[in-house]
């Protein structure tokens, strides 16, 4: 009997241990709740024939088509006349990952530009040239759709070997040249059938790279076989630029160093071939923020590689209408980000020429206007919110090319909250509250639900104009010591800086002067 009890206790302990271990593993591996909406699409991938010189290549090139109806591939290619965009997948990625961006770009083109933003815009001040919002036309409709191409790199693990990265770079060069040739072939086919062509052919391709594909995009720009001015705009998503995430092979680190050195030398020697090419190239790096555990933000920075006159890095948490951190793969389908990127790329198209805006500073200004908000400088100092500003003067200092940054005009420092108005401020007496979001729409905010998965903080952003603000009052639970504190000690002031507002009882906060229009919780 004693032996049976001992065995029963042992079995119970083993079962409980296994149960606890399984719960712990599930907690570690369960998807992070990031607030992203799924993107839906009806994808069709049209193969693009390779030139004879590459007929034996293991890689491939595809054109994306959005729609549930079957189409004739040859006839569709014959009508090709949009703005070419090439998607480059990352380590182990698929060309089919282009589907979210391509589908939303098609919907954005048909739906037209979004309503003008109601909240503070980012500064468009650049060294030696002021580009005002009036210099960027307000579009009622987009001039031309985006034609999304994607390279099939066989799902190879480009993060493991520098030789693989070099092979991917060389194929991307061929893909860019093939895309530009395809537009000429399509136009010739239309003319042969009697069509009258008045517009000019595209002479450049926008590159969008995910993860290692973003680095491949930059490597292609400094490749000697790239046609002159064939790439002038690069957008990377969760892509390492400074160094490989894991230098498993010496060749990987060597290739990164070689490409980055070519970029640095290109800016130093402007009259060289590389320098002439880079002078027209804009690079935008979007990071996934704190939830991206594969590529950290410091690797995605362009510091020391691309001057701030030609690009910047921004966290997805700082992108207009997004304000979410996301995992490494999620950045490809997170609808809030995909929609904003789609409208941004469509905004690059000049309504007069039907091609991307030629001036690099104007393109940079469009990216700034469409992606960045008038974010307070304190935000950029945090690793999970880090963003580079393209001569956006958040604080005084010099960038690595020696240009001076200026200060954004702030509200008068003597403006302060008055305790007399606390009763009229926004209080949260129930778990749910209505807030005005960055897109001007009212949203329900369920604090209790936000805190149910263990989260202790969340981010709240409004679109109030500068020098106005809202204080968020979180009422503590009854019976706690905070319930007897004066109202001024229970308030979280959310206008002068980005702050974390707890999902539980409000801690003591010090009121600060009004400067901006952002809340975080």
- 340/133 Cα distance (integer angstroms): 18
Q: Which value, in Å, is the radius of gyration of the alpha carbons in the chain?
A: 26
Helix ranges, 112-201 (H): 162-192
Look at strands 125-126 and 129-130 and give their pairing.
Answer: antiparallel
Structure tokens at 361: 């500073």
- Residue 204 catalytic? no
Q: Which residues contact 64 (CB under 8 A, 6 or more apart)?
A: 43, 44, 45, 46, 98, 99, 102, 148, 149, 150
| CA nearest neighbour of 228 among 180, 265, 165, 184 | 180
Neighbours of 382 (CB within 10 A): 15
Max Cα-Cα span within the chain: 98
Structure tokens at 80: 């090709």
- Check 105, 123, 211, 342 and give the catalytic one: 211
Strand partners, 405: 397
Q: Any idea what DSSP says for residue 305?
A: T
Q: How far is CA 41 from the centre of its chain?
A: 20
CA dihedral 131, 134, 139, 143 (to 10 degrees): -50
Q: Any idea what DSSP says for residue 62?
A: E
- 151/160 Cα distance (integer angstroms): 19
- 293/489 Cα distance (integer angstroms): 36
Which residues are catalytic, by number? 211
């Amino acid at each position: 009997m004693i032996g049976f009890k001992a065995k029963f206790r042992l079995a119970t302990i083993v079962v409980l241990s296994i149960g606890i271990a399984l719960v712990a593993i599930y907690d570690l591996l369960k998807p992070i709740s990031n607030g992203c909406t799924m993107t839906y699409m009806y994808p069709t991938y049209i193969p693009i024939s390779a030139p004879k010189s590459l007929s034996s290549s293991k890689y491939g090139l595809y054109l994306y088509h959005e729609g549930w109806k079957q189409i004739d591939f040859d006839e569709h290619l014959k009508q090709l006349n949009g703005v070419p965009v090439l998607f480059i997948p990352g380590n182990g990625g698929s060309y089919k990952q282009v589907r979210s961006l391509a589908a939303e770009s098609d919907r954005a083109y048909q739906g037209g530009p979004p309503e003008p933003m109601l909240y503070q815009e980012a500064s468009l001040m650049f060294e030696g040239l002021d580009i005002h919002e009036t210099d960027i036309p307000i579009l009622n409709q987009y001039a031309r759709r985006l034609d999304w191409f994607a390279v099939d790199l066989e799902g190879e693990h480009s993060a493991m070997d520098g030789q693989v990265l070099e092979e991917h770079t060389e194929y991307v060069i061929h893909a860019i040249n093939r895309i530009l040739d395809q537009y000429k072939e399509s136009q010739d086919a239309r003319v042969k059938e009697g069509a009258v062509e008045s517009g000019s052919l595209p002479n450049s391709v926008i590159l969008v790279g995910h993860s290692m594909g973003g680095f491949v995009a930059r490597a292609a720009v400094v490749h000697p076989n790239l046609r002159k001015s064939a790439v002038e705009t690069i957008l990377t998503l969760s892509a390492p630029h400074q160094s490989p995430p894991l230098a498993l092979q010496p060749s990987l680190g060597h290739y990164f160093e070689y490409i980055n050195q070519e970029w640095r030398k290109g800016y130093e020697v402007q009259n060289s071939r590389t320098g002439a090419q880079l002078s027209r190239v804009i690079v935008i790096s979007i990071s996934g923020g704190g939830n991206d555990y594969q590529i950290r933000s410091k690797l995605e920075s362009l510091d020391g590689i691309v001057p701030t006159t030609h690009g910047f890095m921004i966290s997805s948490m700082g992108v207009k209408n997004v304000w979410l951190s996301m995992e490494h793969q999620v950045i490809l389908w997170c609808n809030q980000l995909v929609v904003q990127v789609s409208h941004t790329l469509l905004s690059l198209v000049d309504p007069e020429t039907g091609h991307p805006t030629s001036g690099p500073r104007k393109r940079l200004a469009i990216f700034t206007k469409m992606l960045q908000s008038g974010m307070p400088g304190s935000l950029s100092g945090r690793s999970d919110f880090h963003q580079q500003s393209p001569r956006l003067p958040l604080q005084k200092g010099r960038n690595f090319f020696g240009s001076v940054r200026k200060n954004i005009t702030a509200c008068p420092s003597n403006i302060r909250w008055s305790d007399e108005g606390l009763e009229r401020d926004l209080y949260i007496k129930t778990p749910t509250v209505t807030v005005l979001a960055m897109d001007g729409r009212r949203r329900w905010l369920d604090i209790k639900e936000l805190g149910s998965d263990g989260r202790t903080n969340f981010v709240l952003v409004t679109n109030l104009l500068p020098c106005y603000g809202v204080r968020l009052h979180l009422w503590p639970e009854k019976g706690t010591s905070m319930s007897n504190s004066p109202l001024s000690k229970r308030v979280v002031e959310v206008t002068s800086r980005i702050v974390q507002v707890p999902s539980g009882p409000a801690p003591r906060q010090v009121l600060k002067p009004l400067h901006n229009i952002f809340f975080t919780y």
